[in-house]
Structure formats: structure tokens, C-alpha cells
Amino acid sequence: MPDEITVKPKSEPAPATSLPENQTVTLNRAHLVILCAAGLGVSFFLPWVQIIGANISGFDLQKMSDQERLLWAIPIFCAITIIANITKKSQQVAGLITGILPFLVGGYWYSKLGSDMFHILSYGGFLSLAFGAALLILSPKSK
């Protein structure tokens, strides 16, 4: 009697919705710049200062006088930085300008308030400075 031959059915490929177990996600500098710009844009609407129990955001500050209207540059440049990456344009300059803006605002308020500024600064202000610093570090090296 001849040897037996067994035929195994060909396994079907896994559906496209299932992910392999060892899949990794990589973030390059451009993605990190987008995340920092988005974080800075969100932190514009978070409380920057706390005065007499009132939390005041960057959005609230820009309503106080005509000089503070320049605060709108922060979310505008955040959007420009994000759009520059989406359209595959160089985001280096936009990212640098976006990163510098929170420090310019902080310097302005420090000149007005002195060291008292750090006592009234809230988490939104600290986040803005942190995202600004990250943008200053990451933007020059992104493509």
C-alpha cells in the first residue's frame, strides 16, 4: 500500500482588524512636535493663574485688555505647527516660534509681577512652559 498523503488546508490570513501581538508604535520627532503643539493649544484654555480663588486661563487673560490680545498668537501658532506637519511642510520655524511664545508671555508677566508670578501660577501655566520647552528642543531637529 502506498504511503498516505495528508493535505492540510491553507490557513486563511488574519482579518485586517486584528493586530499582531508584537506590533510596536514608533513616534518620530514630527509626531512629538504635533503632540506638544496640541498640548500647548489645550493648555491655553486651562487655568494659568489663581488669584483670590479664581482660576484664570490664557483665554480669560486675553479678554482683559487690548494688550493681552496678543495671547491669541499661542493657539494660532499651535495650529500652524500642526498644519505644517499634516501638509508635509517644514515645521521647524513654526515649532520654534510656538515654543518661544509661552516664555515671552512668562517674561512679560514676570516683569509686571516679579517673583510673585510663581506663587500665583497654576498648572496650565506650568504646562504651557513645559510644552514650550519641549517644542524648543524638538523643533530644530524635526524634518
Q: Which residues contact 43 (CB under 8 A, 6 or more apart)?
A: 58, 124, 127, 128, 131
In what helix (H) or strand (E) does residue 114 lie, and over which residues does it extend? Answer: none
Nine cell digits for residue 20: 499582531
- According to the model, what pLDDT value does residue 107 have? 84
Nine cell digits for residue 25: 508604535
**pLDDT per residue as tens digits for the range 62-87:** 777 666 667 788 888 899 988 988 88
The full set of domain ranges for the chain reads: 29-141
Per-residue pLDDT for 41 more than 70? yes
- According to the model, what pLDDT value does residue 1 have? 54
- According to the model, what pLDDT value does residue 95 have? 86
- For the whole model, what pTM was predicted? 0.70
Per-residue pLDDT for 16 more than 60? no
Q: What are the start-end ranges of the H helices in 3-57?
A: 29-43
